[in-house]
Amino acid sequence: MRRFTLWMAVVAALVSCSKVDYRDANVPVEQRVEALLAEMTLEEKVGQMAQFCGVRHVEQRDKKAQADNQDAQGYYPGINADTLRKWTKQGLIGSFLHVLTPEEANELQELAVASRLGIPLILGIDAIHGNCLAPDNTAYPTSIGQACSFDTEMAYKIARQTAKEMRAMNMHWTFNPNVDVARDARWGRVGETFGEDPYLVSEMGLALVRGYQGDMQGGDDVLACIKHCIADSQPVNGANHAPSDISERTLLEVFLPPYERAIREASAGSLMTAHNEINGVPCHKSKWLMEDLMRDEYGFTGFVVSDWMDIERIHSLHKCAETRKEAYYQSIMAGMDMHMHGLHWNDEVVELVREGRIPESRIDESVRRILTAKFRLGLFENPFCDVDEGRKVRLCEEHRQTALESARNSIVLLKNDGILPLDAAKYRRILVTGINADDHNIMGDWAGPQKPENVTTILEGLREIAPQSEFVFVDQGLTPKRMTEANVNRAAQLARTADLNIVVAGETSVRERKGLKTCGENQDRAEIHLYGLQQELVRRVAASGKPTILVVVTGRPQALVWEHENLPAILCAWEPGMLGGQAVAEILYGKVNPSAKLAITFPRSEGQIQMYYNHKPSHYRHGLQDMPNRPLYPFGHGLSYTSYEYSDLTLSKSEIAPDESIEASVTVTNTGKRDGVEIVQLYIRDCYSEVTRPVLELKGFERVALKAGESKRVSFTLTPQKLQYYNLDMERVVEPGEYNVLVGPSSRKKELLKASFVVK
């Protein structure tokens, strides 16, 4: 870090002598940054570190209604949108979020480029699964569904298309990917993650960072943000913001690898710290996280942004600072670069510098990082977007097809006793019911309202795919919190007259439904079975004696024990995006052969949490008295309409040195009568180790398309990096000894072929 600071000081001296014009696009970025920095006042520098909610967002806040909840709604007491416009024109704001139209984005940029130095804004948005928080943009499946496809190429494509739609609206920075490793199904934000496995999360995170950022030469590129650092996905009580108390070893081996790889291999441009405290230290004041690990060890060169008002919470919630101003001091000196949303930052940070507590050189470090991103994104040359041209990009046919294909690849067939795919000639009158049957909730959290003609609900998809059938719909409302016995009774009665029943249950994540959500950000649960009257609905419909299929729309695993034991088929659609209804119907009727596999374990009950496949050997030493130790559905599980056989697992060597790689090969055969895609999974087991190791660790996967009767040879390379772990001295090593290689269709051990090799 000191070498970097010295190098920048040398660059600054050279810039001063050569009179570089920071507006000249032909000048190297490093020199442009130093030339601009030399002209900035302290107030302008601190302003670059400040982010506010957009002016339309502020104008729409009902001050009276939000006065007691300004934290959640972005209400600024005593400040209106005109004040924000004035500050922008004065060069005192460096970034906005919650800007949802290109017209507003252009308006704000006009103000910024009219400031004394003409520094453009960087506009951030929660483009989590498409830029669909803003209207008229493509909504892809949420992250957990994407992970279940095990399709990194598709993830890259989604990120690339999202970046194009963002730039079409003059937005430059997505607060994604979320590379938290989710290990608690009670946590409401599971759907934002790529599941429970650090290797899969890393691979998906890498694909998205590369897709968003491209070559970071402006144009269609946007800045990625890896978040939330760190381990907020395993809170002590399953609740967002709650403390995480996790050993250093578990942090290094489970939670940090996705961050390290996104930084080292994809040069992630920004990082967001987490709401929670980790081992007693709020993440927003953790120098160990921001500086020692991310910058000094992993080589992170981007900027760190706070989460929503979390610097203030060092004072107000965690009680680690006596004042808000002291919280600002602690966070900045620990490595924070930008403050997300809120008043007082500009004035009090300037005071801290004037008082000599924060060196101005420390402020310069943060501003350098922020300006570097703005120059690399080409914002100085192209601060505006063409609104009309942007409409040709947003929701274009290519992007809609990607949304449909990714939805098809994300839906997991959990159980099938042979009823699927449906025979349209056999089932002519079909009851469809459930809160998610005819609802835009299929788009998931972090999606704003979209036009009805751009969204295909599950009921609409069924009617399109099987127009010859009669679909009788019984509405159960938009949320399980408001279901009624009357509607449940009506569905139970009509179920007796149907040939087949389809219940579309689960959770609701729609953001604008205040007080009605059961899943998503800050929507944590004590229990993970179907919420409210949904269990009763499923049981009473099934009691009709007619075949009953359950489709689950959810952002977290559900405890479906009764449903698994009593229903012939269960489909987990996750939150499949705006065309998810078509994809669900295509799978139910066999137009598409399901291929997805679970990226997270489904427990039988919240009492089994924490439950994940890569547990330690003693995790289940003794059984529970009231239920099995086994999960309901294990990591990697997912059914197909065809069958696959694994054979002839071979290794290229029987012994290797610690610095050598080894290749594993297996033959996979489609033994059924339908073409399909199988997700082949490779796991390892370190048989004996100095420190306990997981019983299985995913180290490779591949989507393999196979025609009926076709065989393919699939190969994986196990590099030394994939064999490393932290030994007793916390050194990352490849340990000598025997290793098992296991390959198959899921993490279920009885389905895996096994071979062994020795590290000499």
The pLDDT of residue 65 is 44
Instruction: With both helix axes pointing from N to C terminus, report the angle between 534-542 and 485-495 in degrees, rounded to the nearest 10.
Output: 20
| Number of helices and strands in the chain (H, E) | 26, 26
Q: Is the peptide bond before 177 cis (omega within 30 degrees of 0)?
A: yes
Query: Phi, psi at residue 419, to the nearest 5°?
Result: -75, -25
* Cβ contacts of 590-593, under 8 Å, gap ≥ 24: 590/420, 590/421, 590/422, 590/641, 591/465, 592/408, 593/640, 593/641, 593/642, 593/674, 593/675, 593/676, 593/677
Spatial separation of the C-alpha atoms in residues 646 and 104, rounded to whole Å? 56
Confidence check: pLDDT of 671 > 80: yes
pLDDT band at 18 (very low <50, low <70, confident <90, very high): low
Confidence check: pLDDT of 106 > 60: yes
Contact by Cβ (8 Å): 151, 140: no
Pull the structure tokens for residue 648. Answer: 């002839």
**H/E stretch holding 585:** helix 580-588
35 contacts: CB under 8 Å, gap ≥ 6: 15, 20, 21, 22, 27
Average pLDDT over residues 711-715: 98
User: Between the CA atoms of 129, 135, 137 and 138, what dihedral angle is there, to the nearest 10 degrees?
Assistant: 50
Query: Going by DSSP bridges, is the β-strand pair 662-670/711-718 parallel, antiparallel, or unpaired?
Result: antiparallel
28 contacts: CB under 8 Å, gap ≥ 6: none
pLDDT tens by residue, 546-560: 999 999 999 999 999
Q: What is the set of domains in the chain, with CATH numbers? A: 2-87+114-231+239-391 (3.20.20.300), 404-608 (3.40.50.1700), 644-759 (2.60.40.10)
Confidence check: pLDDT of 61 > 90: no
pLDDT tens by residue, 268-284: 999 999 999 999 999 99
CA dihedral sign of residues 438, 145, 467, 546: negative
Pull the structure tokens for residue 467. Answer: 């127009």
Strand boundaries in 324-398, DSSP class E: 339-340
Average pLDDT over residues 628-637: 96
User: Between the CA atoms of 96, 102, 108 and 114, what dihedral angle is there, to the nearest 10 degrees?
Assistant: 130
The pLDDT of residue 70 is 52
pLDDT tens by residue, 595-626: 999 999 999 999 999 999 999 999 998 888 89
pLDDT tens by residue, 243-262: 999 999 999 999 999 999 99
Q: Which has the closest alpha carbon to 701: 285, 175, 74, 197?
A: 197
Spatial separation of the C-alpha atoms in residues 93 and 448, rounded to whole Å? 26
Confidence check: pLDDT of 64 > 50: no
pLDDT tens by residue, 166-220: 999 999 999 999 999 999 999 999 999 999 999 999 999 999 999 999 999 878 9
Spatial separation of the C-alpha atoms in residues 352 and 60, rounded to whole Å? 33
The pLDDT of residue 307 is 97
